[in-house]
């Protein structure tokens, strides 16, 4: 049976391409929906997935970013750039504070270069570090002790340095602009595909790379959920019936599920009572219990008996 409904999207494959990279194949899609879904998912993935970043920091003995730190090879601007590359995951909505204290001699004994990395930061229990080897700076003076404090926040998208400055937890800290998104890269490709004799279909292949603080699957599902919530708010009470993806065994075995109420051979009074209560096809009808049917407005005992008989016939 050929349906006039738009088919639902179907996640057909998930292919792992690396530790933090995966390809998601959605097929088959109604013609034109490959770009519709691909573009909207890509935009949400890059701009709206929740992540965390350092939004402010301080170095003992330094008051502003345009200065050098005695005992440190890098200047403050270089340190700022390195801090922006630290990838974090925070399990709270409130700003979190962390600290770092290390002496040059101890660090030189550890690696021979005086390297200070993200792993040297003392993080609270509700913060996870995604790239512990990320460089912060080098300590050149073995007698110098580096003391730093950080403010870590969760958010979505991009926080400018002006916004970070105005909302600083500590006014004496240096603000950082922050990229919260844990998604590093998204690519998608749309190809034509077919199911049986139906050739007017498309396939979407979406590749997601993350920073390791979230899996590609988690990012994909969060982006889809965000879009669902946005469109649901716009749709109001309007509902549109959809059919399973072409080739889905459910559709092949149960095509009668999508028969409109008007085509089930019910009496006009019973059919009108069902449609007035928002019941539009057999699929919705057989999902109702006897108690739910009795609660329908304008639905009497005779209509109940008629519907129960029709459901029994359908299931044979």
- Which CATH number does the domain housing residue 283 bear? 1.10.150.20
CB within 8 A of 115, min separation 6: which ones? 107, 135, 138
| Tens digits of residue pLDDT in 269-302 | 888 888 888 888 777 777 677 777 878 888 888 8
Residues 20 and 164 in one domain: no
Question: Same structural domain for residues 162 and 215?
Answer: no
Number of H helices, E strands in the chain: 10, 14
Q: Is residue 245 part of a domain?
A: no
**Is there a single domain that holds both residue 82 and residue 158?**
yes
Q: Which of 131, 154, 179 is the last residue of a domain?
A: 179
| Whether residues 111 and 18 fall in one domain | no
Average pLDDT, the chain: 84
Q: Where are the beta strands (DSSP E) in the chain?
A: 11-18, 21-30, 51-59, 88-90, 96-103, 115-117, 127-129, 135-138, 145-155, 158-159, 174-175, 178-179, 183-195, 198-210
Calpha distance 262→311 (Å, rounded): 15
Domain total in the chain: 3
Average pLDDT over residues 42-63: 92
CATH for 193: 3.30.1360.10
Residues 108, 162, single domain; the answer is: yes
- Structural domain includes residue 153: yes
Closest alpha carbon to 222 in 90, 87, 49: 49
User: What pLDDT was estimated at residue 272?
Assistant: 85
- Supply the range of the domain harboring residue 138: 53-179
Helix axes 301-315, 268-276, angle to 10 degrees: 90
**Residue 251 phi, psi dihedral angles, 5° rounding:** -70, -40
pTM for this model (two decimals): 0.70
Specify whether 151 is located in the same domain as 267: no
| Residue 5 domain-assigned (yes or no) | no
Look at residue 252 and tell me if it is in a domain.
no
**Closest to 73 (Cα-Cα) out of 145, 137, 121:** 137
For 134-190, the pLDDT digits (tens) are 999 999 888 889 999 999 999 998 888 877 666 666 778 888 988 899 999 999 999
Confidence band (pLDDT; 50, 70, 90) for 312? Answer: confident
């Amino acid at each position: 049976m050929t349906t006039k409904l738009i088919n639902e999207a179907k996640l057909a494959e998930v292919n792992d391409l690396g530790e933090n990279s995966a390809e998601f194949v959605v097929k088959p899609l109604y013609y034109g929906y490959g770009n519709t879904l691909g573009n909207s998912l890509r935009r949400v993935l890059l701009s709206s997935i929740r992540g965390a970043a350092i939004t402010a920091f301080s170095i003992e003995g330094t008051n502003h970013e345009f200065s050098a730190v005695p005992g440190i090879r890098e200047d403050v601007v270089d340190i700022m750039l390195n801090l922006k590359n630290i990838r974090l995951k925070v399990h709270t909505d409130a700003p979190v504070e962390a600290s770092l204290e290390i002496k040059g001699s101890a660090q030189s004994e550890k690696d021979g270069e005086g390297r200070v990395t993200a792993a040297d930061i003392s993080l609270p229990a509700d913060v996870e570090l995604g790239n512990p080897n990320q460089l912060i700076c080098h300590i050149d003076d073995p007698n110098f002790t580096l003391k730093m404090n950080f403010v870590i926040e969760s958010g979505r998208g991009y926080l400018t340095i002006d916004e970070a400055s105005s909302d600083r937890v500590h006014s004496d800290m240096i603000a950082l602009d922050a990229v919260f998104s844990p998604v590093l890269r998204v690519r998608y490709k749309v190809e034509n595909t077919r199911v049986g004799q139906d050739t007017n279909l498309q396939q979407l292949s979406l590749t997601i790379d993350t920073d390791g603080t979230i899996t590609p699957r988690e990012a994909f599902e969060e982006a889809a959920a965000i879009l669902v919530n946005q469109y649901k708010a716009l749709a109001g009470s309007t509902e549109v019936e959809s059919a399973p993806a072409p080739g889905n065994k459910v559709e092949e075995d149960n095509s009668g599920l999508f028969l409109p109420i008007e085509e089930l051979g019910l009496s006009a009074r019973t059919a009108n009572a069902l449609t007035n209560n928002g019941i539009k096809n057999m699929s919705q009808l057989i999902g109702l219990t006897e108690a739910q049917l009795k609660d329908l407005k304008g639905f009497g005992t005779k209509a109940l008996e008629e519907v129960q008989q029709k459901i029994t016939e359908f299931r044979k």
